[in-house]
Amino acid sequence: MTSAVAVSSKPSPRGSLSGKRILLIIGGGIAAYKALDLIRRLRERGAAVRVVMTSAAQEFVTTLSVGALSADHVFTELFDRNDEHDVGHIRLSREADLLVVAPATADLMAKLANGHANDLASTVLLATDKKVLLAPAMNPKMWSHTATRRNRATLAKDGIAFVGPAKGEMAESNEAGEGRMAEPLEIVAAIEAMLDSRPKPLAGRRIIVTSGPTHEPIDPVRYIANRSSGKQGHAIAAALAKLGADVRLVSGPVTIADPAGVITTHVQT
């Protein structure tokens, strides 16, 4: 079972998603503005993008902006007189090759994990038989909350894929930690990996990779360490995941970012 998607650091070629149909669900959060760039990046690569917006998402970005970038109608209502003659939410969920939720809020994750369907976004997610990719974005305390961790584990068990979140500064003043939505190009790379039909020779394998230095304490002030940067270990973990392995990375204190699509545990010793 693989719940995270490995991505390549190489630039994506134009046309790499030619003919692919992406249904993007935009959740309500400050990271919703990144969805505009995500739409543009996907269309640059030849994908057709349709968008569902939650009511909360519309507080951060407008349907006008989203519609202009996607060149398609933006769907916001579960009950729409113009679309419900053919059960619009079912049609939306079935016509796409992949469903992407970005940003995936704690609320959307909770709804999907527990099978709730009380608006268009959650109904589409419940009605689909296609792959789903979530790009979580929320306050670090919300991401680390027991309920959110439980929901993430449930979704991973159900076969839902994740990209991010990353660590960094939050929109809130003096807030930092894990919870930033993955950058649009990282999400694009994850989408490309999920839609890549080429065989993955390490599919079904579970691999642990250790990377970076350790800090072995001598006393409360001093410690013994080595100069490992972690670059090689992180690159190996990313490459293994790209080949289909379910990779867990155990990383010492490094200054480089966690490899995208790999579940990373940080340690000191």
Residue 226 known to be catalytic: yes
Give the global pTM.
0.73
pLDDT greater than 70 at residue 155: yes
Percent of the residues in the chain that have a pLDDT greater than 70, as a whole number: 89
* Residue type present at position 44: E
* Whether 112 contacts 106, CB under 8 Å: no
Q: What is the mean pLDDT of the chain?
A: 86
Mean pLDDT of 189-208: 86
Cα–Cα distance for residue pair 143/154, rounded to 1 Å: 14
At 101, list the tokens: 């939720």
Q: Give CA 265 to chain center in angstroms.
A: 18
Q: Note the pLDDT of residue 2.
A: 41
Percent of the residues in the chain that have a pLDDT greater than 90, as a whole number: 50
Of 118, 139, 174, 226, the catalytic one is 226
Q: Note the pLDDT of residue 190.
A: 84
Q: Note the pLDDT of residue 206.
A: 92
- Domains of the chain, earliest start first: 21-194 (3.40.50.1950), 206-266 (no CATH)
| pLDDT tens, residue by residue, 47-92 | 999 999 999 999 999 999 999 999 999 998 877 655 555 556 677 8
| pLDDT tens, residue by residue, 139-151 | 889 998 999 999 9
Cα distances (Å, whole numbers) of residue 111 to 183, 184, 229? 24, 24, 40
Question: Which residue, chain included where needed, has tokens 């997610």?
Answer: 125
Q: Note the pLDDT of residue 167.
A: 76
106-114 and 146-157 helices, crossing angle to 10°:
50
| pLDDT tens, residue by residue, 162-198 | 888 877 777 666 777 788 898 898 888 888 888 877 7
**SS3 for the chain, per residue?**
CCCECCCCCCCCCCCCCCCCEEEEEECCCHHHHHHHHHHHHHHHCCCEEEEEECCCHHHCCCHHHHHHHHCCCEECCCCCCCCHHHCHHHHHHHHCCEEEEEEECHHHHHHHHHCCCCCHHHHHHHHCCCEEEEEECCCHHHHHCHHHHHHHHHHHHCCCEECCCEEEECCCCCCEEEEECCCHHHHHHHHHHHCCCCCCCCCCCEEEEEECCCCEECCCCCEECCCCCCHHHHHHHHHHHHCCCEEEEEECCCCCCCCCCCEEEECCC
